[in-house]
Structure 1
Amino acid sequence: MHSLKLVAVLSAAVVGLISVPAHAAGESALGYGVWRNPKDNVRVEIKSCGATTCGVVVYASPKAQADARKSGYDTLIGQQLLREFEPVGNRMMRGKVFVPTLRVTLVGTAEFLDARTMHAKGCVLGKLICKSQIWTRVETVTASTGRAPS
């Protein structure tokens, strides 16, 4: 049972923290932007962290925040969950995923289906137990128009 919980947490972190390739997103930098998990209880901003890509939590629901506090963190907001992510092929990235609720750093991968959709997969025990989710890019609202860019 503990292994299944680990996979679920890992997958949530992996899926929420990986970006879409620049050519698919139409952006100058690899997958930069905000992504939400399927339940929209965690959102992560993907951005440059020097020579690699990272992801920082910019929104967490009250339940996600409570889970982080139980693990010894004052807040989930601002935690860098995606670390040292780099492209490893066409529409694929790999890097380190920090899982605050378990206080571990694991390897994660993602496949980018299109500019707004990402399929992430996390496995434990040598790929014997795996979990995957589909995450969605969040449209950002511009200050001048109050609308999402087209």
Structure 2
Amino acid sequence: MRRFAIALLFATPVLAAAPTTHRSYGVWHNPANSVHVAAKPCGDKMCGVVVWANAKAKADAAKGGSPHLVGMDLFQDFTQVDDTHWKGKVFVPDINKTFSGTVTVVNDNTLTGKGCLIGGIGCKSQTWTRVK
């Protein structure tokens, strides 16, 4: 019994240090369900890579100057502000521009993404839903 207690004592810090999966990670779809983005850790930040897009979304992105929508990072360099908020950059492929943005975890199945022009003006929000 003593050996078990000693082993548990030494194992506890290792278990506590194991990385946890943030509830914002996973695959999410936009309101039109035309784009699916995988939110995942990228070093100590979060990024969001397009893993699927329908034909219209691909065509709109190509018209805007982004011919290869699938595989693109839409959420870039997001740093965690607190348990429910992230700040970073949002790439909009339809217009080939990057804006400052935030991601807010509403619940385990809903995120709100917001992108703004410089100075926090001209902001637009979208609600993203977890792909099951």
Alignment TM class, shorter chain as reference: 0.7 to 0.9
RMSD (Å) for aligned C-alpha atoms: 1.9
Matched, 1:52 2:38: no
Instruction: Give CA deviations for 1:76-104 in whole Å, capped at 9, x if unaligned.
Output: 10011111111112411111112222222
SS in 1 for 2:59: helix
Instruction: Give CA deviations for 1:96-118 in whole Å, capped at 9, x if unaligned.
Output: 11222222221101221111111
Give the TM-score of the pair, scaled to structure 1.
Answer: 0.67
Q: Distance in 1 between matches of 2:20 and 2:74?
A: 23
Query: Counterpart of 1:135?
Result: 128
Partner of residue 96 from structure 1, selected from 77, 89, 103? 89
Q: Distance in 1 between matches of 2:74 and 2:108?
A: 21
Query: Counterpart of 2:20?
Result: 28
Task: State percent identity of aligned pairs.
Answer: 45
Matched, 1:38 2:31: yes
Between Structure 1 and Structure 2, whose CA radius of gyration is higher?
2
Query: Counterpart of 1:86?
Result: 79
Give the TM-score of the pair, scaled to structure 2.
Answer: 0.76
Distance 1:72 1:120, change over 3 A: closer
SS in 2 for 1:89: coil
Is the 2:45–2:79 Cα contact (8 Å) retained in structure 1? yes
Larger RCO (CA within 8 A; separation ≥ 6): 1
Gaps of 5+ in 2: 1-18
Q: Distance in 2 between matches of 1:106 and 1:129?
A: 10
Q: How much has 1:125 moved relative to structure 2?
A: 5.7
Distance 1:117 1:108, change over 3 A: same
Query: Counterpart of 2:102?
Result: 109
Q: How much has 1:38 moved relative to structure 2?
A: 0.9
Q: Distance in 2 between matches of 1:73 and 1:110?
A: 23
Is the 2:45–2:80 Cα contact (8 Å) retained in structure 1? no
SS in 2 for 1:63: helix
Structure 1 ranges of 4+ moved more than 6 A: none
